[in-house]
Structure 1
Amino acid sequence: MENARELLAAERRQAIRRLASLTGDFEQVVEAAYDANADDEHDPEGATIAFERSQVAALVQQVQGQLTEVEAALDRLSAGSYGICEVCGQPIPEARLQARPTARTCVECAS
């Protein structure tokens, strides 16, 4: 299980780095919008800026969800329930946990 803690810590660090990068990207898009014409309907760049802002916001939300999953897995690890399927109660195969350290279910229950 110590390997699991290392995998989860690495995944957490990666998510935090990605979130910091995306936040910087979002700030750049917002800054670009300040320099652009505020009339998106008639500005050919307006739709692009709005799309980019929406896309970055969606990515930020996705990474925040991933970070929440990592935190939940760390909580399960501390509680002693990590690696136990939340549906059937059987152990989650080590290969699945290696591939997806935040897994809450075994392969059979996931499908």
Structure 2
Amino acid sequence: MSQIEAQALVVVDGEDPWTEEELAEVIAELREQQGHSLAFLTAQEAELSGLMKDSGDGAGHDQADMGATSFERDHELTVVSSERDKLAQIERALGRIDHGTYGVCESCGQPIGKMRLMAFPRATLCMTCKQREERR
């Protein structure tokens, strides 16, 4: 992004406009998180594949072993699903940067705030909408 494009991103009243350096820092953090998530998912999916193949028919396993394996498999599925959601958030944030809509609340359309985005680059909601969502 050029300086003009970085400065065109919305900010909360009273915040300085985005600088190219600040935006580059956010993009670098998102890319780092993306790489970590992809590596994590590759490893977790391989482990999960092993758990699924090992589930077998229960021959030679007592009920406690089968229960522990089932619990572990369910836990791994939850972890993989959560990481996939995180990766989708990262990719959505990068897409919003590319389209110049980064920093706009997906719920109310108001600015999210540069400080919030620098602390949590995947944020898609302003603080007011996020608090409302968490109360539900």
TM-score bracket for this pair, using the shorter chain length: 0.7 to 0.9
Deviates more, 1:92-101 or 1:52-61: 92-101
C-alpha contact 1:39 1:46 (8 A) present in aligned 2:
no
CA distance in 2, matches of 1:56, 1:70: 21
Aligned-residue RMSD, C-alpha: 2.1
CA positional deviation for 1:95: 2.5
- Report the AA paired with residue 21 of structure 1: A
- Does the CA-based 8 Å contact 1:83-1:97 persist in structure 2? yes
1:41-87 CA-partner distances (Å, limit 9, x unpaired): x6321111111111101111111111111111111000001012223
Greater Cα radius of gyration, structure 1 or 2: 2
1:21 aligns to 2:43 (yes or no): yes
Identity of matched residues, %:
27
TM-score normalised by structure 2 residue count: 0.69
How far 1:106 moved relative to its partner?
1.6
Matched length: 109
Indicate the SS of the match to 1:44. helix
Counterpart CA distance in 2 for 1:38 and 1:97 is 52
Query: Gaps (5+ residues) in structure 1?
Result: none
Determine the structure 1 residue equivalent to 2:29: 7
Q: Structure 1 residues 98 and 39, CA, compared in 2 at 3 Å: closer, same or farther?
A: farther
